[in-house]
Amino acid sequence: MIASDATNTRAPAPAGERVLVVEDDYFIAQDLCRALRGLGATIVGPAPSIAAARTLLEQTVPDRVLLDINLDGEYAFELATQLQQRGMRLMFITGYDFAFIPPALQRVARLQKPVDANVLAQGLAC
């Protein structure tokens, strides 16, 4: 969280972060990436599947991961648990109700679809 630019102002997250986007809908993924770039983040991916996300995670360590929960029928809970154990910052972006998330993952930040770009900015800033 140390500002690296010369003005020495601290930019709010996710500025300067590498953010992995895991989302199986092309248009939603593009929309999230556009919003994140607008907030100063660098995109890793986007990944349309858990397998693609794992491949990217082997190659690079992002600062944050935005995870859709249902990827073409495959749940992201196992990946989320592993990333949480590694201390990575996570956020679910999902169409599911809160009740759908297992208790162990209910403290993960979460935004419900459809997500507005302003809401995304607020959600990531805290």
Binding mask 13-52 for other proteins (x = CB under 8 A): -----------xxxxxxxx--x-----------x-xxxxx
Q: How far is the CB of 48 from other proteins (least distance, A)?
A: 4
Burial (CB < 10 A; 0-12, 13-18, 19+), residue 77, is middle
Cα–Cα distance between 22 and 46 in angstroms, integer?
Answer: 6
Closer to other proteins by CB, 63 or 74: give it: 74
Closer to other proteins by CB, 3 or 104: give it: 104
Q: Is 71 in the site for other proteins (CB under 8 A)?
A: yes
Q: Is 108 in the site for other proteins (CB under 8 A)?
A: no
Q: Is 67 in the site for other proteins (CB under 8 A)?
A: no
Q: Is 119 in the site for other proteins (CB under 8 A)?
A: no
- Label each residue of 41-76 as H, E or C: CEEEEEECCHHHHHHHHHHCCCCEEEECCEECCEEC
CA distances from 74 to 17, 30, 50, 69, 79 (A): 27, 20, 8, 8, 11
Where does this chain touch other proteins (CB under 8 A) — which range of 4-12, 13-21, 56-64, 106-114? Answer: 106-114
Compute and round to an integer the Cα radius of gyration of the chain. Answer: 14
Residues binding other proteins (CB under 8 A): 24-31, 34, 46, 48-52, 55, 70-75, 77-79, 81, 94-97, 99-100, 102-103, 112-115
